[in-house]
Amino acid sequence: MAGILDTVDQRTQLVGENRLEILMFRLAGRQLFAINVFKVQEVLQLPKLTLMPQRHPFVCGVVNLRGQTLPVIDLSQAIGMRPLVPGPNSTIIVTEYNRSVQAFLVGGVDRIVNMNWEAILPPPASAGRQHYLTAISKVDDQLVEIIDVEKVLAEIVPYNAKVSREKLEDPVLERARGREVLLVDDSNVALSQLRDTLGQLGVKMHIASDGLKALNMLKAWADSGQVMTDKLLMIFTDAEMPEMDGYRLTTEIRNDPRLRSLYVVLHTSLSGSFNDSMVKKVGCDNFLSKFQPDKLVDVVRQRLMLDEVPAM
């Protein structure tokens, strides 16, 4: 697998075209699982593992990787499957989510596949591991389950949705009370964080689990004659979602005269440096990494302040 991620810069061309690349791997059986390549820093053989006292049951230990200490999480056990036994020939996937870096112990890496988001579908209600899946797909007629890593990490280190008192006392935020926002995300954990944080501002929230559902919702409102900038204060959208990603959703919004003036915030666990360039490419108004309640409120305040800027 050496060099598997060397060409990641070329993959940025996929974004905005409703395409992605997934890294497929196995855990404790033959079932294929996957995560987005953009979350992956590298794939390598497990370095020397150091055990820690009173560690979380899903954490095998820590490794030192080029001077950085990383927790190693048994991804199989974390999603309710048989635990993996770490050894000198074990494989880890080093990932970055929400500005934190961690390694996942896996049974073995399969390959990278280039896909269209339209081929990535929500998991069926009957899926046994639905609790830990954000999506499913098929590759060569084999089912691939895409893991909700945000949920796994939230169970190990619970997220904080509480906004600091100083932020909430800002009089500008009073203007958010009663306003409507649209939240677009396929992760229940991320949606819960958004709801818990924004609920402290007294806003009314509409929910869509993917970009296509969100676009259809927006168009239905516009078709009914509603002025969209009057109806919605702003939209928070994830980047990765089944059927239509957040980049494509933003592009579609900007291409519709009735929607193009809406304030769109990319709210994602993908790396900030990558998203800064993609925000400009697809026309988002702002970018925010997930699970930062005070910064989330700051973004709402920035949007409210725009109402005070006189039109040119």
Locate 134 and state its tokens. 């954000």
pLDDT at res. 278? 66
Condensed to tens digits (0 to 9), the pLDDT of residues 289-298 reads 888 999 999 9
The SS3 of residue 113 is strand
Which band of pLDDT confidence, cut at 50, 70 and 90, is reported for residue 5? very low
CB 55 within 8 A of CB 136: no
Task: Name the burial class of residue 282, with classes exposed (0-12), middle (13-18) and buried (19+) by CB atoms within 10 angstroms of its CB.
Answer: buried
Nearest to 276 by CA among 264, 261, 293, 288: 288
Q: What is the tally of helices (H) and strands (E) in the chain?
A: 10, 15
- As a dihedral over the C-alpha atoms of residue 164, residue 170, residue 173, residue 177, rounded to 10 degrees, the angle is 80
pLDDT at res. 8? 40
Q: Lowest mean pLDDT: which of 116-125, 218-227, 246-255, 275-284?
A: 275-284
Beta bridge partners of 73: 59, 104
Which band of pLDDT confidence, cut at 50, 70 and 90, is reported for residue 97? confident
CB 147 within 8 A of CB 33: yes
C-alpha 74, offset from chain centre: 20
Condensed to tens digits (0 to 9), the pLDDT of residues 143-201 reads 999 999 989 999 998 888 899 999 999 999 999 999 999 999 988 889 999 999 999 99
Task: Tell me the average pLDDT across 64-81.
Answer: 94
Locate 90 and state its tokens. 């074990």
Specify the pairing of strand 142-147 against strand 133-139.
antiparallel
Percent of the chain whose pLDDT exceeds 90: 63
> Where do the DSSP E strands lie in the chain?
19-26, 32-36, 40-45, 59-65, 68-74, 91-97, 100-106, 108-116, 133-139, 142-147, 180-184, 204-208, 232-237, 264-268, 286-289
The SS3 of residue 91 is strand
- 111 Cβ neighbours under 8 A, 6+ residues apart: 23, 24
Which band of pLDDT confidence, cut at 50, 70 and 90, is reported for residue 109? very high
- As a dihedral over the C-alpha atoms of residue 104, residue 72, residue 8, residue 279, rounded to 10 degrees, the angle is 90
Cα(247)–Cα(226) distance, rounded to whole angstroms?
24
